[in-house]
Every structure is written in C-alpha cells, then in structure tokens.
A and B are shown apart, each in its own frame.
Chain A
C-alpha cells in the first residue's frame, strides 16, 4: 500500500507568516505533487517535482515555492501567507502505473 502523509491536518496562520507544509512518502517514488482544492474549482496544480532538487511550476505557482532535498519529502512553502491562500492543500505521489495517490490533506486558514 502506498502511504502519503502530511504534517498537519489543520493549520491556522496569520497574514504575512511563513508557512511550511510537508509531505512524506514511504516508497521510492520520484514524482510528487502539490495541489490546492477549492469548492467549484477542483484540484489545481501548484508545483511538482520529478526528482530530488528538481521542480516544475504547475498552473498556480504564484505566492508559493517548494523544496525537495530528499526523495521522500516534498515541502510547500508560503513565503508570506495571505488570506486568499486559505484552502485545502493536497499532496500526491505518482505510482508505478501513473495513478496518483493522495495524502490526507491540510486545511490551512490564514487570518
């Protein structure tokens, strides 16, 4: 079974704070992804990584950055959180058959 974990289920931050969301996988998968999920908008791709230290922008990278120093860990960083970044954040990994497996999600509220 593929296991994807995220550091927090719920997070409340203040505007302007730096926020770190972490995603950890227990297998040796190369591709990892960060999405945000908002009602009526589906899942939108923020950033993804296909190897250590490699990253690619998705469709909505503005206001976010990522870090992948080790294969099993992929971090999403909000340099200066804003209220419009209040959302559900989902991490995913690409399995051997192209299927993506999701973590449980982090519901971030920025006040």
Chain B
C-alpha cells in the first residue's frame, strides 16, 4: 500500500524567512497530493493541493511542487508570519477509492 514520509518533523524559522517541507510517496498510482494545516485544537484544513499532471502550483505565499519520477513533493511557504505556525501534513491518494495516506506531520514555528 501507499506509504508517505515527511521531513522534517519540526521546523523553526524567523518571521519573513521561507519554510520548505518535503514528502515522498511510494505508490506510483497516487495522483492527488494535498497539504493540510492543523492549528492547535482544530481539525486539519486543506491549504493547497496538486495533481499528478501538474508540476507546480502557487497560491499567494504558498507553493507546491511535484516530481512524479522521483515520487516526491514539497510545500514552500515564503515570507512566513507567526500565524503560519501550525502542524502541516502532506498526503497522497489514489484515484479509485480515494483512500488517503498522510505523512507524520511537520510542526512549523515562526518566531517573531
């Protein structure tokens, strides 16, 4: 089955710096790769996603890149702000039943 690995597990940056979180997946049939942000005590919320027919996607300060050949994808956050502090999860899902596998999460801390 699908296995998703995520690095690093914790990341601390200064406000205004960039943050990069990396994930790898194992199942070449996976075709949908979302990123979720989870603030303390809240449910995970989708922040950006990418499909296997696209190499890069950007939404304001957030971008995601996908390398299908290497089976890895990354989240890039530029000009980080304290409110970006949260746990971020990457995930991968296959088209048939939509079952999704998640990485272990990255705790991002943005220091003012």
Contact = CB atoms under 8 A, between A and B. Distances in A.
Main secondary structure, interface of A, reads: strand
Given A42-B103, A42-B104, A102 B97 contact: no
Contact of A45 (B9, B44, B45, B99): B99
A100 B102 CA distance: 12
Interface in B1-52: 1, 6, 9, 32, 34, 42-46, 49
B86 interface: no
B42 to A, nearest CB: 8
Contacts of A41: 104
A45 B43 CA distance: 16
Contact of A58 (B44, B99, B104): B99
A45 B100 contact: yes
A94 interface: yes
A89 B45 CA distance: 16
A50 interface: yes
Contacts of B49: 98-99
A101 B1 CA distance: 22
A45 B97 contact: no
A100 B91 CA distance: 10
A58 B93 CA distance: 13
Given A43-B89, A102-B43, A103-B43, A33 B104 contact: no
A81 interface: no
Contacts of A40: 9, 104-105
B99 A33 contact: yes
Interface in A60-105: 90, 92, 94, 98-105
14 contacts: A35-B102, A40-B9, A42-B103, A43-B102, A45-B100, A45-B101, A48-B99, A56-B97, A92-B100, A100-B34, A100-B98, A100-B100, A103-B43, A105-B43
Interface of A: 31, 33, 35, 40-45, 48, 50, 56, 58-59, 90, 92, 94, 98-105
Interface of B: 1, 6, 9, 32, 34, 42-46, 49, 89, 91, 93, 95, 97-105
